[in-house]
Amino acid sequence: MSLIADAFTLVFVAAGIAFFAAGTLGLVRLPQTLSRIHALTKADNVGLALIVLGLLPQAANVLEGAKMVAVWLLAQLASGAVAQVMAEAVMAETKATKDAAPPEEGHP
Amino acid sequence: MTGALLFGLAGAALVGCGVYGLLTAPGALGRVLGFNILGGGVFLMFGVVARRGAGAGFGADPVPQALVITGIVVAFCATALAVALLVRLCAVQAEAARGGDGDKET
Amino acid sequence: MSLVFDAVLCLVLLAGALGVVTTGAARPAVIAFIGYGLLLGLAWVRLAAVDVALTEIAIGSGISGVVLLRCVRALPAEPLTPAPNRMLKPLAAVVSITIAAALAAVVLALPEPAPSRAADVAAALPATDLGNPVTGVLLVFRALDTLLEKVVLLLSLVGVWALSRDPACRGRPAPLSPEPAPAPSAFLARVLAPIGVLVGLYLLWAGADHPGGAFQSGAVLAAMGLLLVMGDQIRTPAAESRGLRLLLLAGPFGFLAVGFAGWATAGVFLGYPPGAEKAVIIAVEVAITVSIAVTLGLIVLGPPAGEERP
Amino acid sequence: MTGDTLSPPLDLSALEPALPVLSEALMVVAIALPLVLAFAALVPAVRRALPHLLVFVPLPALIAALAVPRGLSVLVAPDPFRFTLALDAPGALLLGGSSLLWMTAGAYAMAYLRKDPARPAFMVWWLLTMAGSFAVFLVADVASFYLAYALVSFSAYGLAAHDDTLEARRAGSLYLALTVLGEALLIAAFVMLASGTADANPQIRDAVALLPTSPWKTPVLVLVLLGFTLKMGLFPLHVWMPLAHSVAPVPGSAVLSGVVVKAGVIGLLRFLPESVPLPGWGAVLCGAGLFTAYYGVAVGLTQRHPKRALAYSTVSQMGVVAAVIGAGILNGTAGTFTIAAYYAANHMLLKGAMFLAVGVAMASAPRRAWAVAGVAGLLGLSLAGLPLTGGAMAKYAIKLIVPEGVAGTLLTLSAAGSTLLMARYALLVARSGTEGAPPRGLILPALALAGLALVLPFLLFEAVTGLPAGVAFTPAALMKGLWPVAVGLAVAALLAWKAPRVPEVPAGDILHTLGFLGATGRTIMGGAVAADAVLRRWPVAALALLGVAALVAATLTFAVVPL
Amino acid sequence: MSALLVLAITAPLLGLVPLLLLGPRTGERAALGMLAVNVAITAGIAERVAQGGRALGYVVGGFAPPLGVGLRADGFSAAMMLMAALVLLFTGLFAMTGPGDMTRKVKARGSAGMPATFFILLLSLACALNLAFLAQDLFTLYVALELLTFAAVPLVCLEGKAGQLSAALTYLLFALFGSVLYLLGVVLIYGLYGTLDIAHLAGLMAQGTGGATAGAALALMSAGLMAKAALFPLHLWLPPAHSGAPPAASAVLSAVVIKAPLFLLVRLWSDLAPLPLTQVAGPVFALCGAAAIVFCGVVALAQERLKLLIAYSTAAQIGYLCLMFPLAASDDGPWSALAWTGGTLHLVSHALSKAAMFLAAGLIAETMGHDRLSGLGGVGRVAPVSVAAFGLGGLSLMGLPPSGGFVAKVMLLTSALQQGAWWIATVVLVGGLLAGGYVLRVVVIALQHPDSDAASGRGLPDARECRWRALIALALAFGAMLVGFMPLAPLPFLDIGRPVTWEGLLP
C-alpha cells in the first residue's frame, strides 16, 4: 500500500517539478512580459497542482490533506488575479509609451 | 548541530553582504536594503544560537527566538520610517525643483 | 541529505543577498530582497523556528516588501547621486569579507555545550498554561520587551504620520493607486479577504500552543485590509477618526492595562492572575493583534493627506 | 618690616565682642553690594537710581580696608561650598586704593556718559567689574579666587568694548581671547596646587605653603607667572593692554589701568611664596619686569594719543612691580609683598587720576587744557618719583626691596624713563583740548583723586615699611629721588627742542608681527572644516564605525591575553 | 521591589492616550502634566536611592533574571533620570507657547506652539530615556535605544523641510547601522553566556571565559552606542540634525537624547566589562573623545550659523565624558572616583546648559528671522534674556565658575594630573579654550551696537523675544550654574548600587 502511495507521490511530484522547471525556463527565456507571465502562471499552477496531488497520499489525516488542497486553491486564486492585474498594467504601460511618442517632452 | 553551524556561517556571510550594501549603496533605499540584509544575518545568528541551545524538550532555545520576533518587528518599523522619510524627501525635492520655474504663481 | 539541502539553501540565500546589494537599480533590488526574505523564512524553518519563519515571511518579506515597492514607485527614475569613489567598492568588499570571516571565526568558536535558557522556560511554562514556549517568552517572561515593542510600532506610525503635510495629521492616506482598481483586484479582494481573515484568526488562536501568534496574525489581517483597499472595497480610513485611534491604542494600552491589573491580582506589574493566565494572555493577544493589523496597514498606506474639504 | 601685622588705621577694638561678625559682614557686603545692584539693575526703578548710587557702592569696601583686622579669615559658606574671605596687608592696600578709585571714577563716569544711551549697560559692567575686583583682593580660597578673577577679567570686557568702534571690537576680542588663555593657564596651575593638599579647595595660603616641596612646583610656577603676568601686561604678553585701555571710555580706562591689572598683581602676591627664596624664578621675573619697564617707555614715547601713552606707562609700571616682586622672591625678603602692593596702590590712584585728567582736557578749550596738563604733569612726576610727592615715598619703599646693584640701578634709571614718558603724556594732554568748559562732574572727581594720589602714600609709608616717613626726606634720599627725574626732564627738554621724527608705533606693537598666527589659525580652521566634510560623508563615516569597532576589538584581543 | 521604577516607564506612556484620543489642547496639557509627574517620579527614585543608600530593583512579571527582565535604579541612573526629566519638562513648557505672542506678524495671539506630535514624541522620549537608564537586560536596552531613535528622528523633521528630512534620514540610517551592530554584540553575548542580564553577565565575564568573542561583542556594542551618541568620528548626522530641528527639538536632542547611549557606554564598561578590559579599552574611547573635543571645537569656531555652532559644540562636548574612561578605570582610589564624578557632572551640566543654549538660539533666530552670526549684531538689545541664557549656558561649556562645567573640568583635570595623564589634562584645557572662543564670539556679536553694523545694511527687527520662553531657557542655564555649587569631591551618591547585583533587591 505504502509502496504504491510512494510511487504515486514520486511520479506526480517529479512531473510537478518538471512543470515548474519549464515555467521558470519560460520566465527566463521568453522575450515579452506578457508571454512570461503566461508561461509562469500556467506552468506553475499545473506544477503546484501535481505536487499537491502527489503529496496527498502522504498526508497524515484528512485535515492535513484539506490544508494542502487549500494552499493550491489559494495559490490558484492569487496567481490568476495577479497575472491579470500585471497584464493590464503591462498593456497600459505599452499604450502610454506609444501615446507619449515624442519623448523630448519628459523631464530631463 | 552541523546544520546550525552552516546557518551560522551563512549569517556571518549575510552580515558581510549587508555591510557591503551599507557601504556602497549610493542612495538611501540601497542603505535601507543593506540594513535589512545585515539585520537578517544578525537574526539568523540569533536563530543559530537558539538552535544550538536546543534542550528540555524544545527544538531550540525559545528565548532568542522570541528576541528575533521582536527584532524583526523593530527592523520593520525602522524600514517603514526610513522609507516614509525618503518618499517625503523626494516629494519635497521634486516640488522645490518644480517651484524653481513656477515661482510667480505662488 | 538535509545538510545538502541546508547548504543549497544557504548558497541561494547568499546569492539573493548579494543580488540585493550589488544590483544597481532600485526595483530589481527590492524584488530580490523579497525573494531573499522568503528564503530566509525557509532557513528559519530549518532552524526549528516556525514562529520566526512566519514572522519573517509576513513582516520581514511581505509587508516590508510592499512598503519598499511603494517607495520605489515614489522615487524619481534616476536619483541624482554623485559617482562614488572608484576605490570604494573594492575597499568595501575587502572590509565586508574581513568582517564576515571574523564573524565566521567567532561562530565557530562559540562554546560547547551551548548555554541555553530552554530548561528555565520549560520549568516555568506549565504555570502559564501555554503550549508554545515562544509565546510564553514573548508575553510572560519578557512581556516588557513585547509591550515596548508595541510602543515602538505605534511610534513608527506616529513618525510616518508626522511626515504628513498637515501638522495636525488629519485626513485619509492617499489610496495605493490613483486609478480605479482593475476588476481582478476587486475580485481577489472580495474572495480572498474573508479567507485571509479566517487564516489570521486561526494563527492568533493557534499561537498559544502552536506556532503563530499576534504578529503573524496581525500581518495577515493587515494584508487583507490592504487587499481590500487595493480592490477599492473600502476607503482608506481617516487618521483623525476616534475609532481608528482606539484600535491603534487597544494593543499597547490594553497590554499596559493588563500589566497594571496584574499588580492587583498577581502582585506584580505584568503578572497574570493565577489560574486565569491563559485566558488573559489570549485576551491580550487579541487586542495586540487588532492594533498590529491596523498599525501595519496604516504604515503601508503612509501619511494622511490632510484635512478634506467637502 | 611689618607685613601681616600692619594694623588697620581705624581702630574698632571698642567693638571687641562684635568685631568678627562686623568684619565678616563688611567684607561680604563689600563684594555683595555691587553684585546685587548689578542684578537689580534689571528693575527699571533701580536702574534709574543707579547713577546717584554709584559713588557710594564702594564705601563698604573702603571701610573694610580701613577697619577689618589684618589676617582675619572668615568662612562665609559652610564646608562643601567653601567661600572664605581674608584681608592681609597687601589686600587691604589694594582694596582701599581701588575703592577710592571706584568712587571717584564712578562719579566721573556718570557725568562723562551723561548723554550715552547705553549708560545702563556700562553701569552693569562697571558694578560687575567692581565686585570682581573687590572679591579678588578679599577671597582666601583657591576656587573663589578663580571665580573672582574670572569675574573681574570678563566683566572688564564690557568696559573696554563699550564704545563699540571697530577698533574697540578688535581690542575687545583680543582681550577676551587672551583672558580665556589666562584662565586656562591658571586653572591648570590651581588644580595642581590644590592637589597637593588634602582639600579639594584649600586656602591659598596653605596651598602655597606646600608649593616649594610640591612635585608640581615647576609647572605651577610657570603657569602662575604666565597667567598673572598676562594680566599685568609683562612683555611680550602686554599686547592687549595698550589696545584695550585706550579704546575704553575714559573712566573705563581709568579702572582698567588702575584696578583690573592689579588683579594680576594680587595674583602674584597670593600665589608666590614670600618667605622661601626662589632664586631662578625671582631673577626671571625681575629681569622680565625691568625689560618691560624700559620697553613700555620706549614704545609709549612714540604714541600720539595721551590714553595710549598712559597705557604704555601702565605696561612700564607693571614691569617695575614685577621687578620688585621678582627681587623679593629672589631672596625671600620679608615685607616684599606689602611694599609691592603699596607701590601698586600708588600707581592705581595716580594712573586713575591721570586718565581722568585726559577726559577733562578733551572736554576743555585749549587754554584750559594747558592747566589740566599742569596737574597731569605733576601727577606724572609723582609717578616717576619726584621728591616730596607721594610717588617718591613709593619709590623709596621699593628700593628697600631691590638691592643695590645692576637691578637697583636699572630700577632707578627707569624712573628717568618714566619722567620722559610722563612729560610726553603731559604734552599730549595739553594738545588734546577741543572747546568748551568741562562740567564740574568731571573736574571734581578728577581733582579729588589727584589729591588723594599725591597725599595718601605719605600717610601709609610708615605702616607699610615700618620706617618713619622722615627717612624719605633726608637730603640723600631727596637727591637720590631727584636726579633720575631731573635726567628725564632734561632729556625731555632736549627732545622737545630737537625731536627726531619717530613714527608712531601702532598700539599693540609686536602684535602686528604676529599676523601669521591669524593666517595659521584660518588655515587650521579651513582644514578642519574640509576634513569634517570628508568625515561626514556616508561611506567614510560607515567605514569609521566599523573601524572603531575593529579597533576596540583588536585592542581587547591583543592587549589582554588572559581574558 | 520599588513600584516607582515601573511608573517611570509607564507614566509617560499613559500621557499618549489623551494626546491621541482627545484634542491637541487637552492632550498637550495632559502631556505636560505627565512630564511633571515624570519629574516627581524620578525625584522620588533619586530620593529613595539616596535615603536607602542602595539601588532600587523591580522584576517585571515576577520572573527573576536571567529568565525575566529586571529594572534597577542606582545612583548614576537616578541622577541621569532626574536630569532628563527636568530638561524634558522645561522643553515641554517651552514648546507650549508658539511665536504667536511675540511678533506682530502672526495674527492669532497665542497660536499653538509645537504640534501635538511633538508632545507624543516628547513623552515617548521620556519613556525611552527612563527605560535606557533603568533596564538591566541588553536586549531591553536595545528596544529602549530603538524607541529613543524612533522618537528622536521625527523630531528633527517636524517642519518637513528638505534639509530637515535629509538630516533625519541620515540620522535614522546611521543610528540603525549602530543598533544592528549593537544587536550583533548582543547575540554574541547570548551565544557565550546564555543570558543578557547585566548583573549575571558581569559575574560571568569576570571569570574570563569569553576570549576574543567577548571582546568582539563588547566592541560591537560600543561602536553601535558611539554611532548613536555621535562620538567623533561618527558625528556625521549630528550637526545637520541638531541644527536643523526646531529649537525645542534641538534642545532635547542635544541635551538628553545623545546622553542615553553615552550612559549605556559607561554602563557597559563600568558595570559589565571586567576592570582589566576597561583599562585596555578606555584609552581608545578617550582618544575619540579627545579628537572630538579638539576637532569639533575647531570646526565649531569656523561656523557661520548659530545653531550649527551649537551643534558642533555638542559634538565636541560629548568627548569630555569619554575622557573619563581611562581615568575612572584606573583603580586609583579617590582619583578615579573623582573622574567618575566629574564625567557625570559634565554630562548633567552639559545637558542643562546645552538645552538652554539651543532654546535661546531658537528664540534669537525667531526674533531676528535668521541665525547667521554675521547678522546678529546687537541682538542683545531685542533678546536680552535669550542672550543672557546663552551666555550663562556658555559659561558651563567654557568651564568657568560658577558652573557645572567648571566643577566637572576641575575634577577631570585633577584626576588626570594625579594619574599623570598629561595629554588628557591638555585636551581638557584646550577644549575650554575652544569653547571660550566659540561662545564668546557669539556673546561679543550679541553685545555689539546694532547701528554700527553697516555691513548688514539694516537695523534690528521690530520684534521682541518671547520673555516667558526666554525665562525658561534662563532657568535651564541657571540650573547648569547650580550644578557648579557641588563640592569638589567625589559624590558618594553616584557610587550607590555599584557593582551591579540583584542581591537584596529581589523578593
Query: How far D561 CA lies from chain C's nearest CA (Å)?
Result: 16
Other beta carbons within 10 Å of D504: 12
**Least confident stretch, B28-37, D77-86, D487-496, E38-47:** D77-86
Query: How far D232 CA lies from chain E's nearest CA (Å)?
Result: 20
Crossing angle of helices D406-431 and D279-301, rounded to 10°: 30
Radius of gyration of chain A (CA): 20
**Least confident stretch, B96-105, D132-141, D461-470, E61-70:** B96-105
Chain B residue with minimal CA distance to C102?
B12
State yes or no: pLDDT of D547 exceeds 80. Answer: yes
CB contacts < 8 Å between C and E, how many?
Answer: 141
User: Would you call E437 and D180 a contact, using CB atoms and an 8 Å cutoff?
Assistant: yes
What's the CA gap between E460 and D249, in Å, rounded?
A: 25
Contact (Cβ atoms closer than 8 angstroms) between residue D541 and residue E207: no
**Would E269 be classed as within a structural domain?**
yes
List phi, psi (to 5°) of D139: -70, 155
What's the CA gap between A34 and A40, in Å, rounded?
A: 10
**Would E507 be classed as within a structural domain?**
no
Cell matching residue A59: 498526508
Query: Does the beta carbon of A81 lie under 8 angstroms from any beta carbon of chain C?
Result: yes
Contact (Cβ atoms closer than 8 angstroms) between residue D353 and residue D300: no
What's the CA gap between D320 and C188, in Å, rounded?
A: 100
pLDDT tens figures, D189-246:
998 888 777 777 888 888 888 888 888 889 999 999 999 999 998 888 888 888 888 8
Which chain C residues contact residue A85 at CB under 8 A?
182, 184-185
Contact (Cβ atoms closer than 8 angstroms) between residue C218 and residue C289: yes
Q: Where does residue E202 rank: exposed (0-12), middle (13-18), buried (19+ CB within 10 A)?
A: middle
Question: Of D289, D138, D276, which is closest to residue D211 (Cα–Cα)?
Answer: D276
User: Would you call D539 and B19 a contact, using CB atoms and an 8 Å cutoff?
Assistant: no
Of the pLDDT bands very low, low, confident and very high (cuts 50, 70, 90), residue D314 is very high
Highest mean pLDDT among A89-93, D2-6, E41-45: E41-45
Contact (Cβ atoms closer than 8 angstroms) between residue D414 and residue D290: yes
Give me the mean pLDDT over the A33-48 stretch.
Answer: 82
Name the one residue in this structure whose C-alpha cell is 549656558: E393
Other beta carbons within 10 Å of D334: 15
Query: Does the beta carbon of A88 lie under 8 angstroms from any beta carbon of chain C?
Result: yes
Looking at the 3D structure of chain B, how many domains does it have? 1
Mutate to test the interface with D, among B15, B20, B23, B35 (most CBs of D within 10 A): B23
Alpha helices in D196-305 (DSSP H): 204-210, 217-232, 240-247, 250-255, 262-271, 279-301
Instruction: Using alpha carbons, list the distances in angstroms from residue C293 to C201, C298, E327.
Output: 11, 9, 51
State yes or no: pLDDT of D252 exceeds 80. Answer: yes
Q: Which residues pair with E137 in a beta bridge?
A: E197
**Would B23 be classed as within a structural domain?**
yes
List phi, psi (to 5°) of E177: -55, -45
Which chain B residues contact residue E177 at CB under 8 A?
22, 35, 38
If you write DSSP's letter for every residue of D326-348 in order, what string do you get?
HHHHHHT-TTHHHHHHHHHHHHH
pLDDT of residue E105: 38
Which chain E residues contact residue B49 at CB under 8 A?
187, 190-191
Closest CB to E190: pick one of B49, B89, B96: B49
User: Would you call C163 and B84 a contact, using CB atoms and an 8 Å cutoff?
Assistant: yes
Touching partners of D (3+ C-beta pairs < 8 Å): B, C, E
**Would E503 be classed as within a structural domain?**
no
pLDDT of residue E107: 36
pLDDT of residue D480: 85
**Would B56 be classed as within a structural domain?**
yes
Instruction: Using alpha carbons, list the distances in angstroms from residue D376 to C201, D306, D316, D426.
Output: 101, 11, 18, 6
What's the CA gap between A66 and A79, in Å, rounded?
A: 20
Give percent of chain E with pLDDT exceeding 90.
59
Contacts with D, E 308-347, CB within 8 Å: none
Residues of chain E with pLDDT under 50: 100-111, 452-457
User: Would you call A81 and C187 a contact, using CB atoms and an 8 Å cutoff?
Assistant: yes
**Would B82 be classed as within a structural domain?**
yes
CA pseudo-torsion sign E146, E149, E154, E157: negative
Q: Using a threshold of 3 CB pairs under 8 A, tell whether chains A and D touch.
A: no
Question: Of D378, D400, D399, D397, which is closest to residue D389 (Cα–Cα)?
Answer: D378
Give every CB contact of residue E263 below 8 A, 6+ residues apart in sequence.
Answer: E76, E77, E80, E132, E133, E347
Q: What's the first-to-final CA gap in chain C, in angstroms?
A: 65
Cell matching residue D209: 605653603
Helix, coil or strand: residue D73: strand
Closest CB to C107: pick one of B9, B23, B76: B9
Over its length of 310 residues, how does chain C's per-residue pLDDT go in tens digits?
688 889 999 999 999 999 999 887 888 899 999 999 999 999 999 998 888 999 999 888 889 999 999 888 888 766 555 666 778 889 999 999 999 999 999 999 888 888 888 888 888 888 888 888 898 899 889 999 999 999 999 999 999 998 888 777 788 888 777 778 778 888 888 888 888 899 888 888 888 787 778 888 999 999 999 888 888 888 888 888 889 999 999 999 999 999 999 888 888 898 888 888 888 988 999 999 999 999 999 999 988 887 655 4
User: Would you call E410 and D80 a contact, using CB atoms and an 8 Å cutoff?
Assistant: no
Looking at the 3D structure of chain E, how many domains does it have? 1
What's the CA gap between C249 and C215, in Å, rounded?
A: 16
Query: Does the beta carbon of E280 lie under 8 angstroms from any beta carbon of chain D?
Result: yes
Chain C residue with minimal CA distance to D554?
C102
Contact (Cβ atoms closer than 8 angstroms) between residue D262 and residue D94: yes
Mutate to test the interface with B, among E182, E187, E196, E197 (most CBs of B within 10 A): E187
pLDDT of residue C78: 63
Q: Where does residue E305 rank: exposed (0-12), middle (13-18), buried (19+ CB within 10 A)?
A: middle
Which chain B residues contact residue D539 at CB under 8 A?
23-24
Q: In which element (H, E) is residue D74 found?
A: strand D72-77
**Would E504 be classed as within a structural domain?**
no
Other beta carbons within 10 Å of D279: 11
Which chain C residues contact residue A67 at CB under 8 A?
none
Contact (Cβ atoms closer than 8 angstroms) between residue E272 and residue E205: yes
pLDDT of residue C80: 56
**Least confident stretch, A61-70, D255-264, E36-45, E419-428:** A61-70
**Would E32 be classed as within a structural domain?**
yes
pLDDT of residue E103: 40
Strand ranges in E56-156 using DSSP code E only, listed in sequence order: 56-59, 70-73
Instruction: Using alpha carbons, list the distances in angstroms from residue D438 to D358, D372, D428.
Output: 11, 11, 17
pLDDT of residue D58: 93
Name the one residue in this structure whose C-alpha cell is 553684585: D35
Give every CB contact of residue B31 below 8 A, 6+ residues apart in sequence.
Answer: B21, B22, B25, D538, E173
pLDDT of residue E330: 79
User: Would you call A85 and C191 a contact, using CB atoms and an 8 Å cutoff?
Assistant: no
User: Would you call D538 and B19 a contact, using CB atoms and an 8 Å cutoff?
Assistant: no
Q: Where in the sequence is the domain holding E197, given as residue range(s)?
A: 3-495
Q: Where does residue D517 rank: exposed (0-12), middle (13-18), buried (19+ CB within 10 A)?
A: exposed
Here the ipTM equals 0.91
Contact (Cβ atoms closer than 8 angstroms) between residue C89 and residue B24: yes
Measured at the CA of D223, the angle between CA D219 and CA D225, to 5 degrees, comes to 120
User: Would you call E178 and D164 a contact, using CB atoms and an 8 Å cutoff?
Assistant: no
Which chain C residues contact residue E6 at CB under 8 A?
269
What's the CA gap between B69 and B74, in Å, rounded?
A: 9
Which chain E residues contact residue D528 at CB under 8 A?
295, 298-299, 302
Query: Does the beta carbon of C92 lie under 8 angstroms from any beta carbon of chain D?
Result: yes
What's the CA gap between C84 and D539, in Å, rounded?
A: 9
User: Would you call A88 and C182 a contact, using CB atoms and an 8 Å cutoff?
Assistant: yes
pLDDT tens figures, D387-434:
888 888 998 898 888 888 888 889 888 999 999 999 999 988 888 888
Query: Does the beta carbon of E150 lie under 8 angstroms from any beta carbon of chain C?
Result: yes
What's the CA gap between D305 and D429, in Å, rounded?
A: 8
What's the CA gap between C74 and C69, in Å, rounded?
A: 9
Whichever domain contains B26, its CATH number is: 1.10.287
State yes or no: pLDDT of B21 exceeds 50. Answer: yes
Radius of gyration of chain C (CA): 22
Cell matching residue D17: 565682642
Q: In which element (H, E) is residue D85 found?
A: strand D83-87
Chain C residue with minimal CA distance to D553?
C102
User: Would you call B96 and E194 a contact, using CB atoms and an 8 Å cutoff?
Assistant: no
**Would B104 be classed as within a structural domain?**
no
State yes or no: pLDDT of A108 exceeds 80. Answer: no
pLDDT of residue D435: 81
Q: Using a threshold of 3 CB pairs under 8 A, tell whether chains B and C touch.
A: yes
What's the CA gap between C89 and E199, in Å, rounded?
A: 42
User: Would you call E432 and D525 a contact, using CB atoms and an 8 Å cutoff?
Assistant: no
List phi, psi (to 5°) of D405: 140, -160
Query: Does the beta carbon of C43 lie under 8 angstroms from any beta carbon of chain B?
Result: yes
User: Would you call E487 and D80 a contact, using CB atoms and an 8 Å cutoff?
Assistant: yes
Touching partners of A (3+ C-beta pairs < 8 Å): C
Q: For chain B, what is the largest distance between any 2 Cα atoms, rounded to a whole number of angstroms?
A: 74
User: Would you call E140 and C252 a contact, using CB atoms and an 8 Å cutoff?
Assistant: no
pTM value is 0.92
